[in-house]
């Protein structure tokens, strides 16, 4: 949301003149991060302090009109300056300045969405720097300098960040990197604070090369497992399009693929706070999973076997009494194929499987066919036809 837009919405809410849509937009913006909530509190305090002064001076003013006049008015040189008249406008200018400082000092994350079409053409794990440079990660090991950070990559699928000095200055510019993992790949990342991230296939992570300020924030598309370095004074926040997860130090999995109806946060250890867009905050404990339905916008918590949702980190998929459609939807992120079902009933066939991600697609199909009454046929173009086996007479 543009800073000017959120600024105007703030003023409408503070002046008790906001519409339902403006209240909703503000609540969604506040739910994005703790920094947004702190900023609104500060703006509210500033607004109320000037409002109090205005009332003490018996000055009446309209907030929206004042804002428009601050933006558009051209003051005539001969017009006398009147403190009492301009005090409310000064309040609005001060609020605008406060919000402006926030957006200027906030780490500037590049607009990766502008490269959406380009990202689709990436066929191997790739690191995108904020200067537009792209670095393929599987070709060779390397060590490069970016600002005051050293980026290291090795051939076993690990990327790490390390400062070249003991105490970087908070005034130094923050750089954002973007890690893209295409179908059939996975990658391990160590962030500057020591947090380990395992990024699954068809996933993307945007993050600063180092963390500064009172919060550590990253943005995720797809699925990742996080082992967060503990720092009680600086919460770690994972943001997706649907949910925000805040922790101090813990291990958890976030699955938020755009192609899937459900977004899930599965906790292995520690404690996390999860909040969907515009919804209430949930706190979950180990072995609990937060679920958010994108269509109904409903959230809930359930107890799960965490291995079923985190085994991919160790290179395998574990399915327990899972529907065939669910299995194929998960494997589609790793293998390149499409599915055609002979009838709808076949989608709900149940399987319990442990699948090593190193096996080929052909071996996978043989495994499923051998252990069930389902026949899988692979045609040109990697189309898999799912049929019911005929009973032998």
What is the CATH classification number for the domain harbouring 332?
3.55.50.30
More confident residue, 140 or 222: 222
Q: Is 0.75 topped by the overall pTM? A: no
In this structure, are 274 and 296 located in the same domain? yes
Residue 111 forms part of a structural domain: no
Give pLDDT, residue 39: 72
Looking at 274, 306, 338, the residue that finishes a domain is 306
Residue 113 forms part of a structural domain: no
In this structure, are 123 and 93 located in the same domain? no
More confident residue, 76 or 251: 251
In this structure, are 192 and 276 located in the same domain? yes
DSSP code for 313: G
CA distance 201 to 125: 9
Using CA atoms of 256, 257, 258, 264 in order, give the dihedral in degrees to the nearest 10: -30
Looking at 105, 140, 170, the residue that finishes a domain is 105
pLDDT tens for residues 95-109? 444 444 444 444 555
Say if residue 260's pLDDT is above 60.
yes
In this structure, are 170 and 41 located in the same domain? no
In this structure, are 143 and 99 located in the same domain? no
Q: What is the CATH number of the domain that holds 278?
A: 2.60.120.1440
CA distance 110 to 127: 14
Looking at 306, 334, 363, the residue that finishes a domain is 306
CA distance 220 to 215: 16
Give pLDDT, residue 150: 92
Give pLDDT, residue 225: 97
In this structure, are 234 and 381 located in the same domain? no
In this structure, are 127 and 72 located in the same domain? no
Give pLDDT, residue 34: 62
In this structure, are 123 and 166 located in the same domain? yes
In this structure, are 148 and 221 located in the same domain? yes
288 forms beta bridges with 303
In this structure, are 285 and 228 located in the same domain? yes
In this structure, are 72 and 210 located in the same domain? no
Given the structure tokens 């060590």, which residue do they identify? 143
CA distance 218 to 209: 11
Mean pLDDT: which of 75-84, 117-126, 135-144 is highest?
135-144
Percent of the chain with pLDDT over 70: 74
Q: Please, which residues have CB within 8 angstroms of residue 365's CB and are 6 or more apart in sequence?
A: 376, 378, 384
pLDDT tens for residues 127-139? 999 888 899 997 6
Say if residue 236's pLDDT is above 90.
yes
Residue 110 forms part of a structural domain: no
Q: Which domain holds residue 161?
A: 118-306
Q: Is 293 left (phi over 0), alpha (psi -120 to 50) or beta?
A: beta
Residue 243 forms part of a structural domain: yes
Containing 317, the helix (H) or strand (E) segment is strand 316-323
* Structure confidence at residue 7 as a pLDDT band (50, 70, 90): low
Give pLDDT, residue 170: 53
Of the chain, the end-to-end C-alpha distance in Å amounts to: 66
Of 183-187, 188-192, 320-324, 370-374, the range with the lowest mean pLDDT is 370-374
């Amino acid at each position: 949301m543009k800073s000017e837009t959120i600024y105007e919405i703030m003023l409408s809410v503070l002046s008790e003149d906001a519409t339902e849509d403006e209240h909703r937009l503000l609540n969604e913006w506040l739910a994005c991060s703790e920094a947004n909530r702190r900023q609104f509190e500060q703006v509210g305090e500033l607004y109320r302090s000037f409002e109090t002064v205005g009332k003490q001076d018996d000055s009446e003013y309209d907030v929206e009109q004042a804002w428009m006049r601050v933006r558009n008015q051209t003051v005539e040189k001969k017009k006398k300056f009147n403190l009492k008249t301009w005090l409310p406008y000064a309040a609005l200018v001060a609020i605008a300045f406060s919000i402006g400082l926030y957006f200027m000092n906030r780490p500037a994350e590049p607009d990766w969405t502008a490269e959406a079409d380009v990202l689709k053409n990436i066929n191997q794990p790739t690191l995108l720097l904020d200067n537009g440079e792209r670095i393929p990660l599987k070709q060779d090991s390397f060590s490069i300098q970016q600002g005051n950070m050293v980026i290291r990559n090795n051939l076993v699928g690990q990327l790490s960040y390390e400062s070249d000095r003991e105490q970087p200055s908070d005034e130094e510019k923050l750089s954002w990197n973007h890690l893209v993992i295409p179908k059939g790949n996975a990658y391990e990342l160590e962030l500057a604070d020591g947090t380990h991230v395992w990024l699954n296939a068809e996933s993307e992570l945007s993050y600063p090369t180092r963390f500064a300020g009172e919060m550590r924030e990253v943005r995720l598309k797809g699925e990742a497992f996080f082992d967060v370095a503990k720092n009680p004074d600086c919460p770690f926040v994972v943001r997706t399009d649907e949910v925000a997860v805040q922790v101090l130090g813990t291990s958890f999995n976030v699955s938020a693929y755009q192609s899937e109806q459900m977004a899930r946060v599965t906790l292995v250890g520690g404690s996390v706070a999860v909040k969907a867009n515009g919804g209430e905050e949930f706190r979950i404990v180990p072995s609990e999973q937060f679920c958010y339905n994108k269509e109904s916008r409903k959230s809930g918590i359930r107890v799960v076997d965490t291995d079923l949702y985190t085994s991919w980190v160790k290179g395998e998929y574990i399915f327990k009494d899972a529907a065939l459609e669910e299995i194929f939807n998960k494997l589609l992120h790793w293998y390149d194929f499409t599915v055609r079902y002979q009838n709808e009933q076949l989608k709900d066939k149940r399987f319990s499987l442990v699948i090593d991600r190193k096996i080929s697609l052909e071996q996978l199909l043989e495994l499923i066919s051998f252990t069930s009454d389902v026949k899988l046929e692979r045609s040109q173009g990697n189309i898999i036809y799912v049929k019911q086996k005929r009973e032998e007479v």
